[in-house]
Amino acid sequence: MKTTQLILRILVGALMVLFGANKLFLFLPAPEPHGLAGEITKAFLTIYYLMPMVGLFELIIGLLFLSNKWMPLATLMLVPISINILAFHAFADLQSIAAAAFVALINVYFIYVYQDKYWPLLKIK
């Protein structure tokens, strides 16, 4: 089980670092999205701060995953990002949903792994 967690943690961490850094430094060539995905992407790019901010969060989350520091926090930080990536691909670019589904499922897995850390947050005092 620990080996599985290590492999998944490194995979998700590497993906987040790679795509987060790419949003900041634009070093990977991106195919031109068509249809609704293209329109949404163009709209996101017109909001000049949005993609760099998302990229910075992805980079931070990826580094936390790779360093194995504050994993319960990193996992929670990944929730809104993975939901939005999954929703974007589900509604606008279904052909490339595999990576989004992978990240979302791994995120659910890590929430399960660290569930004991979250229960105290839900207690009513």
Closest CA to 57 of 37, 41, 40, 80: 80
Q: Supply 66's token pair.
A: 């790779």
Residue 24's pLDDT is 93
Residue 25's pLDDT is 93
Domain ranges of the chain: 2-122
Residues of the chain where predicted confidence (pLDDT) is lower than 50: none
**Cα(114)–Cα(91) distance, integer angstroms:** 30
Residue 10's pLDDT is 97
| Chain centre to alpha carbon of residue 95 | 18
Residue 54's pLDDT is 94
Residue 124's pLDDT is 85
Tell me the pLDDT tens digit for each residue of 71-100: 999 999 999 999 999 999 999 989 889 989
Residue 118's pLDDT is 94
